[in-house]
Amino acid sequence: MEISIVQPTGIPSKDLAVQTQDKKERTLPEPEINDRTATGSQAWSLTKQIVQWILDKWLVIGIAIACIVGYFAPNVAKPHGYIHSEWSIIYGAVALIFFVSGLSIQTEKLLVHFSNWRLHFTVQGLSFLLIPTVFFCIVLIVAKFGDKAVFDRQILTGMIVTGCIPTTLSSNIIMTRLSGGDEAAALVSVTVGNLLGPFITPILITNVFWPTMDRSFDAVRPASDLQQLRALYGDVFKQIGLTVLLPLTMGQLIQGYLGFEITSKWVKKLFLNRISTFCLTLLVWTAFSSCFATGSLQKMPKEFLVLVIFVNIGLYISFTSLCVLLSKVRIPYPSFKWQERRLHMSRSQILDRGVFIAICFCAPAKTTGLGLPIVTAMWTRYPEEMKAKIQIPVVLYTIEQIFIAQMLVWWFSRLKKDQEEAEREVAADAGRTQ
């Protein structure tokens, strides 16, 4: 029996091994190319991290740049300066913020919060009752025990004005949005507060607090005749109408015509929320510019400046902490029953997280939008330098509140992230037990 050996066809095994080795050597990249690629990848990764960090912190960076530019070039963004910020920023930037809010917030939410009595009692009660009283008590203590040469009566008067003015318009809405709060609740609160402010603030200053001041404040006594404030009412309501009500209504009409989903999609595509947040840095810029342009802040005694800064910081943090405590307490609030047409007391539940965040930003805040015009109207017969001194505490408080609010944004965002992680863990544990 013959056994035939069949040789395999094709490339011999020895030659095949040599060709395979050559192919591997050809496909392996050069070590120099590997190093260059790794270096480029690391540089690109580092660039992305830097850009992402700037995008996350760009509001803080923008505010810092606005402060620096306002200090070195105050004449650019001061009122009646090169860019006429009293129109381009105070009207234009604020109107854009409320126009974007009108596009972004559902009309039903606005209507619900306009009838939210607990929201109004908390925000307006703190803004027009508790906070003015605390500021007034601090002024009385400083005036009684402080050195008159250091603690200027004009600046102390500005602290009383700071406590009596309503909440700010634009920054509350933006900070609430960044923190994941109820933007509609913030918008309703600031609108109601600024509509009440022109009437309540002058009465608090002239009829409630000023009659109890000592004789050292006679040189800075404000106008007691409310008829002299008629021009103030016209200016303030014109500003609120053009910067708040008109752009908000236009945004709501566009939303009603196109639909909420379509407008929300275009707001995200056009980055309108980021643009409205950028407007906040413009407001800080004009506030700093107006503060440095007069030179009053530079002439202010350093001891008094430090006192005002730390008092503002302490009060803002204290008022915010009080809002946190009130949000956890079940307090009876009056509510109106439309069906029964009667007013009764109802024990409310703990505040919704979104409304609670809006209260924390709206209640302690104060606005230069009404603060500066009211100083101009009530002290109109005094020199510009005196009015600038009275305005210093108002400007300082509003600037400091923006910086502290940035920390609150970080804190609320962190709490939300921890809550979401805890909910995911609970859901995962429930899934494993099943």
Cα distance between residue 81 and residue 75, in whole Å: 5
pLDDT band at 41 (very low <50, low <70, confident <90, very high): confident
Distances (CA, A) of 346 to 121, 126, 334, 337, 401: 14, 21, 6, 11, 34
Model pLDDT for residues 258-308, shown as the tens digit of each residue: 998 899 899 888 888 888 888 888 888 887 887 788 777 777 777 778 888
Mean of pLDDT values over 235-246 = 85
Token pair of 32 as six digits: 């120099």
Whether the CB-CB separation of 150 and 301 falls below 8 Å is answered with yes
Which amino acid is located at 271 in the chain?
F
pLDDT at 20 over 60: no
Give the number of other Cβ atoms within 10 Å of residue 145's Cβ.
Answer: 8
What is the pTM (predicted TM-score) of this model?
0.77
Mean pLDDT of 345-364: 78
pLDDT in tens, 182-224: 999 999 999 999 889 888 998 899 888 988 888 888 888 887 6
- Which pLDDT belongs to residue 364? 93
Q: How far apart are CA 101 and CA 111, in angstroms?
A: 14
Q: How far is CA 9 from its chain centroid?
A: 80
Asked if pLDDT for residue 427 goes beyond 90, the answer is no
Phi, psi (deg, nearest 5) at residue 83: -100, 5
Of residues 399, 406, 393, 408, the one with CA closest to residue 321: 408
Say how many residues make up the chain. 434
Task: Take residue 317 and report the two structure tokens written for it.
Answer: 């943090």
- The pLDDT assigned to 304 comes to 79
The residue assigned the tokens 């009667």 is 342
CATH number of 55-336+345-412: 1.20.1530.20
**Residue of 162, 62, 161 whose CA lies nearest to 397:** 162
Q: What percent of the chain has pLDDT over 90?
A: 17
Least confident of 5-9, 161-165, 284-288, 328-332: 5-9
- 24 burial level (CB within 10 Å; 0-12, 13-18, 19+): exposed
Half-sphere exposure of 96 (CA within 13 A, CB side): 19
- Which region holds residue 10: left if phi is over 0, alpha if psi is between -120 and 50, else beta? left
- In eight-state DSSP terms, residue 344 is E
What is the amino acid identity at position 324? V
Query: pLDDT value at position 338?
Result: 46
Report the pLDDT averaged over residues 10-34.
Answer: 51
The pLDDT score that the predictor gives to residue 387 is 82
Give the C-alpha separation, 13 to 145, whole Å. Answer: 103
pLDDT surpasses 90 at 370: no
* Residue-level pLDDT at 1: 46
- Amino acid occupying residue 215: R
**Rg value, the chain, Cα:** 30
SS3 category, 302:
helix
pLDDT in tens, 56-81: 677 778 888 888 898 888 889 887 88
